[in-house]
Amino acid sequence: MHEILFWIIIAILVLDFLFEKYLDYLNTTRWSDTLPEEVKGIYDEEKYKKQQAYTGENHRFGMLTSSFSMAITLGMFLFYGFALVDGWVWDITSSAILAAIIFFGILMFASDLINLPFSVYDTFKIEQKYGFNTTTPKTFIFDKLKGWVVSAVIGGGLLALIIFIYQKTGNMFWIYSWIVVSVFSIFMAMFYSNLIVPLFNKQTPLEDGELRDAISAFSEKVGFKLDNIYVIDGSKRSTKANAYFTGLGTKKRIVLYDTLIKDLSTEEIVAVLAHEIGHNKKKHVIQGLIIGLVQTGIVLFIFGLFIGNPVLSKALGVDEPNFHIGLIAFGVLYSPISFFTGIFMNMLSRKNEYEADRFAAENYKPEALGSALKKLSVNNLSNLTPHKLYVFFHYSHPTLLQRLAHLKQFE
């Protein structure tokens, strides 16, 4: 039975990879040497050629990195690399909790080191070439080091607690683990910007002036209490601009990239924030959190049914079942289910984006939001003509052209 399960795992990995490459290929069929009619007025000829070159270079680089990653992953399964690492950790400790932490620590650290040259090339070659990168080598190195520490503390701590719960509660571990993960998720939703973001970026309250007055006036108009408006130093790493809404209750805040303030006018920034406020007013933030918690509960329940099954471990070449090996096998086997839930979540997300756009258009200025979206897309060299199937499977937002068409009805 474990041999059949092994080949099912291999088949899932290969089919997923081939499907992703097919979607990537479909996108290449939309490339053009001349400016397409539908993007005229957004891109000019010169900027469009630059965008196509950027898209093409990222595509080729992505093909290389994903193929390399796939080869490593297949090698780990075909040559029982996970069993090898599992043997190492049990030579070090007899504790299941410590063994799991060391096991995943080795895998993640090794993966990060193997992919480090690709990350360096992407940041300091491709992004630099097209004028996006502002990351210094020092920032890059410290980001890596801090990322490892945060992953070790938070990821390792949560994993240790879940295994401890499993040891103490057996088949009922999924319920208690679900409670723990839910509390942690809510806590992070509230305090992520206070605890994690400051480790990597500086956030400062938006200064008094025209922009803050305009944001406050709009917030008051739509009955949205917003005292926490912050500017984040996104320019520390990239020229690309963004804005996001974070937090719950009294901890909610709007975060603006300093690059956004630099690139957009006051009206355009308020329009972008109107969109973000629309997400909150339409309860999208709470909706996403609840759906995420329900999905986590379902995953933990299904995992709880299989975790003690020796077939999972034997499929990876380990005779004695254990938590971390079972988790690796289960993660691959569950991926077809997560594939379909991902499609549903993207469809829901695109629907929510339209609703947030509608809120901004009805309560502020649709032309200002449209102008902001155009500027952001052009400045980021976004692909405006992706293939419909790629959009269906991967886009959490409608395309720019779809959003502009939707906003037209409100002008």
Angle at 134 between CA 128 and CA 138, to 5 degrees: 110
Does the global pTM surpass 0.85? yes
The long-range contacts involving 132-139, CB below 8 angstroms and separated by at least 24 positions, are 132/238, 132/239, 132/240, 132/380, 133/237, 133/238, 134/235, 134/236, 134/237, 134/238, 134/239, 135/236, 135/237, 135/238, 139/236, 139/237
> pLDDT value at position 246?
82
pLDDT in tens, 125-162: 999 999 999 999 999 999 999 999 999 999 999 999 99
> pLDDT value at position 254?
85
Active-site residues, by number, are 276, 357
Angle at 124 between CA 73 and CA 136, to 5 degrees: 115
Both structure tokens of 389:
């199937």
Asked whether the beta carbons of 90 and 99 are under 8 A apart, the reply is: yes
Angle at 334 between CA 292 and CA 153, to 5 degrees: 60
How many Å apart are CA 256 and CA 267, to the nearest integer?
14
Alpha-carbon Rg for the chain, nearest whole angstrom, is: 23
Asked whether the beta carbons of 59 and 24 are under 8 A apart, the reply is: yes
Of 409, 283, 407, 391, nearest to 354 by C-alpha is 407
Phi, psi angles (nearest 5°) of residue 258:
-60, -30
> pLDDT value at position 320?
87
Asked whether the beta carbons of 334 and 300 are under 8 A apart, the reply is: no
Both structure tokens of 303:
């995992």
Q: Write out residues in the chain with pLDDT < 70, as ranges.
A: none
> pLDDT value at position 270?
95
> pLDDT value at position 131?
93
Angle at 22 between CA 16 and CA 28, to 5 degrees: 145
DSSP-derived 3-state class of residue 17: helix
How many Å apart are CA 243 and CA 232, to the nearest integer?
9
How many Å apart are CA 373 and CA 306, to the nearest integer?
46
Kindly provide the residue ranges of all beta strands, DSSP E only, lying in 160-252, ordered along the sequence.
Answer: 203-205, 229-232, 243-246
How many Å apart are CA 146 and CA 169, to the nearest integer?
34
> pLDDT value at position 252?
80
- Residue at 177: amino acid letter: S
Give the chain's mean pLDDT: 92
Phi, psi angles (nearest 5°) of residue 254:
-100, 130
How many Å apart are CA 269 and CA 371, to the nearest integer?
10
> pLDDT value at position 225?
79
